[in-house]
Amino acid sequence: MVKYKTRDEVELIKESAEILGKAHGEIAKMIEPGVKTRQLDERAEEFIRDHGGVPSFKNFNGFPASLCISLNENVVHGFPSEYELKEGDIMSVDCGVFYKGFHSDSAYTYPVGDVPEEVMQLLKVTKESLYKGIEHAVYGNRVGDLAYAIQSYVEGYGYGIVRELVGHGLGRDLHESPEVPNYGKRGKGPLLKDGLVIAIEPMINLGTRNVVQEADGWTIRTADRKPSAHFEHTVAIFKEGTEVLTTHKYIEENFKF
């Protein structure tokens, strides 16, 4: 069942999202070769808790960390570890914050140092596809309209769209209905109604769309081990317009590509 939000509830999600955005900004300041991904996770959790929030992901279905850190061919749900970032890596950082009873959720993929041009294009196109989806996430449209916008854009570059993992509704629960895939048909899927809050999150592969799950039971990687990119925003849909609740502003003040 879809849980529609009031204006007041959306304002609380925005407060959560502001903490989340600033936590991402703290991470962005630290990204350079030699930094351990565990250090990024520790800083994110410290910042979130210092500002009255709780990391949404930590202990969610047994997940052990505050951040999902997914490197290179890993798509999502990677663990922070003792791994040290190195020149040429790309790293997806997905984070959620629970604050005043509501969750927010966003993700960003970083290049570390000099990254091959074809991989930089993957990051650029994936980020652009997120905003293509948001453009079509408007009152009266259907999920298929925004999904088709993402799919048609990225497939124009020959990339693979992960189908096993999708965006989602969120609010009092981290994952709510409806599912929000990154592929679909215009005019199909659930109707986008007033008060709907969803996370839109393209997960796009340089090569095949096929993925496999690693032995840890969490990490999802590309079947061909080519790089994958992931960008995400939480948005609220109202009759008067769509509002992006999360922000990448604090990331991009500290880290630009």
Task: Please tell me the predicted confidence (pLDDT) of residue 255.
Answer: 84
The answer to whether residue 2 sits within a structural domain is: no
The count of other CB atoms within 10 Å of the CB of residue 206 is 22
User: Domain tally for the chain?
Assistant: 1
At residue 64 the predicted structure's pLDDT band, cuts being 50, 70 and 90, is: very high
At residue 133 the predicted structure's pLDDT band, cuts being 50, 70 and 90, is: very high
The answer to whether residue 230 sits within a structural domain is: yes
Condensed to tens digits (0 to 9), the pLDDT of residues 241-254 reads 999 999 999 999 98
The answer to whether residue 17 sits within a structural domain is: yes
**pTM, full prediction:** 0.97
Condensed to tens digits (0 to 9), the pLDDT of residues 34-51 reads 999 999 999 999 999 999
The CATH number given to whatever domain includes residue 199 is: 3.90.230.10
Nearest to 139 by CA among 243, 242, 45: 242
Condensed to tens digits (0 to 9), the pLDDT of residues 85-100 reads 999 999 999 999 999 9
The answer to whether residue 166 sits within a structural domain is: yes
- Tell whether the model's pLDDT for residue 162 goes beyond 90: yes
The answer to whether residue 23 sits within a structural domain is: yes
The answer to whether residue 15 sits within a structural domain is: yes
Provide the residue range defining the domain that includes 168: 7-254
At residue 256 the predicted structure's pLDDT band, cuts being 50, 70 and 90, is: confident
The answer to whether residue 183 sits within a structural domain is: yes
The Cβ-side half-sphere exposure at 77, using a 13 Å CA radius, reads: 20
The answer to whether residue 1 sits within a structural domain is: no
Task: List Cα–Cα distances, 166 to 4, 62, 143, 159, 231, in angstroms.
Answer: 19, 20, 12, 16, 12
Mean pLDDT, the chain, rounded, equals 97
Task: Please tell me the predicted confidence (pLDDT) of residue 254.
Answer: 82
CA end-to-end span of the chain: 39
At residue 132 the predicted structure's pLDDT band, cuts being 50, 70 and 90, is: very high
